[in-house]
Amino acid sequence: ERLYADDIEAVLRLKKQRDAVILAHNYQTPEIFHCVADIRGDSLALARAAQTLSQSVIVLAGVHFMAETAKLLNPEKTVLIPDTHAGCSLAEGITAGDVRALKAAHPGVPVVTYVNSTAAVKAESDICCTSGNARRLVESLGVPKVIMIPDEFLARNIEAETGIEMVTWPAHCEVHERFTPQEIRQYRRIHKGVTVIAHPECPPEVVAEADYSGSTAQMQDYIAMKQPEKVLLVTECSMSDNLSVLFPATSFVRPCNLCPHMKRITLAGIRRSLETMETPVSVPEHLQPRARQAVERMLAA
């Protein structure tokens, strides 16, 4: 049986030796999130942080599209992902060819692409967004209609909030699409007075049952502000595990779903990655300028 303490000690030592920084998404398990990560956050926070780092090596404790985004913003640095198979059903749900077909069918309509996408798809896009800035970005375009890909539910949720017409694509997050409104109503009956917070990757009928909807970082901010007694986070399981450490006075009801991709990243895997410097992420040269532009436009907006 492995001892977490051995791996934690080794990772902390290797970080110094390799001049490395660990960026961890909010869905990473607590021993990664609380014990070895240097920067923690939602997709937006990780992308922003990736712009400002002094270390020469970035270890991305998260899924592949996050590592690719970090590499786009830091072409001269080594960006390591501990498991190259840590994918995402949204990123895998659309191709660059699909985006070109959508643009041909809707000429002149801007393409807003969720960061949960490949660099090839980003390269076909006007601007990226995350769940934390989607509403503000879409509104800032000042147009009545946008192509918002690949997450159909995020697009429909933003459409409901803004009234801006969305051309959508039928890709979903395999974690959030599984929640149902019946399940939320049942939890409300069992846990009277519970505050329900749903991620905008959930189906619109699930978001309609929630008290608040926001990115994983916005969930954290909302709890910090409202300090509810009891919370139901309609999202990936590690979110409640990590926040329950930060908010000991709040109790967390857990009808969560696991993301099998996020869970491919382990403490032992991070250690191995720093020992072997595997696996560096690369973005094909010809995609870099256009994909980087879509991400940088988002960060500048």
| Site for ligand SF4, rule CB under 6 A | 63, 88-90, 116, 173-175, 201, 236, 259, 261-262
Site for ligand 13P in 182-201 (CB under 6 A): 201
Distance CA 162, CA 268 (A): 44
Dihedral, CA of residue 212, residue 215, residue 219 and residue 220, to nearest 10: -160
Among 23, 28, 37, 42, binds ligand 13P (CB under 6 A): 42
Residues 147-186 that bind ligand 13P (CB under 6 A): 173
The β-bridge partners of 59 are 22, 80
Among ligand 13P, ligand SF4, none, what binds residue 130 when CB lies within 5 to 8 Å by partner kind? ligand 13P
Full DSSP string of 94-124:
--HHHHHHHHHHSTTPPEEEESSS-HHHHTT
The site partner of 43 among ligand SF4, ligand 13P, none (C-beta below 5 to 8 Å per kind) is: ligand 13P
* Site of tokens 């969305």: 166
131 contact, one of ligand SF4, ligand 13P, none, CB 5-8 Å limit per kind = ligand 13P
CB of 6 to ligand SF4, least distance (A): 28
Among the listed ranges 38-46, 117-125, 146-154, 244-252, the one in contact with ligand 13P (CB under 6 A) is 38-46
User: Among ligand 13P, ligand SF4, none, what does residue 215 contact (CB within 5–8 Å per kind)?
Assistant: ligand 13P
Strand pairing partners for 151? Answer: 171
Structural element, H or E, at residue 72: helix 64-73
Q: Collapsing DSSP states into helix, strand and coil, what is residue 298?
A: helix
Is 118 a binder of ligand 13P (CB under 6 A)?
no
Nearest to 120 by CA among 4, 294, 300: 294
| Residue 130 CB burial class (10 angstroms; 0-12, 13-18, ≥19) | buried
Tokens of 300: 């500048």
Token output for 261: 């991709």
**Of all residues in the chain, what percent are helix, strand and coil, respectively (each to 5)?**
45, 15, 35
- Taking CB under 6 A as the rule, which mask of x and - marks residues 69-108 in contact with ligand 13P? -------------------x--------------------
Q: Does 29 bind ligand 13P (CB under 6 A)?
A: no
| Whether 257 contacts 178, CB under 8 Å | yes
- Of the candidates 239, 268, 265, which has an alpha carbon nearest to the alpha carbon of residue 252? 239
What's the closest the beta carbon of residue 148 comes to ligand SF4, in angstroms? Answer: 15
- What φ, ψ does residue 251 adopt, rounded to 5°? -100, 140
Q: Of 14 and 129, which CB lies nearer to ligand SF4 in the complex structure?
A: 129
Shortest Å distance, C-beta 172 to ligand SF4? 8
| In the complex, least distance from residue 159 CB atom to ligand 13P, rounded to whole angstroms | 18
Please say which residue, 58 or 88, places its beta carbon nearer to ligand 13P: 88
Of 116 and 250, the one with the shorter C-beta distance to ligand SF4 is 116
The interface region with ligand 13P, picked from 93-101, 130-138, 139-147, 263-271 by CB under 6 A, is 130-138
Q: Which residues bind ligand 13P (CB under 6 A)?
A: 26, 42-44, 63, 88, 116, 130-132, 173, 201, 215-216
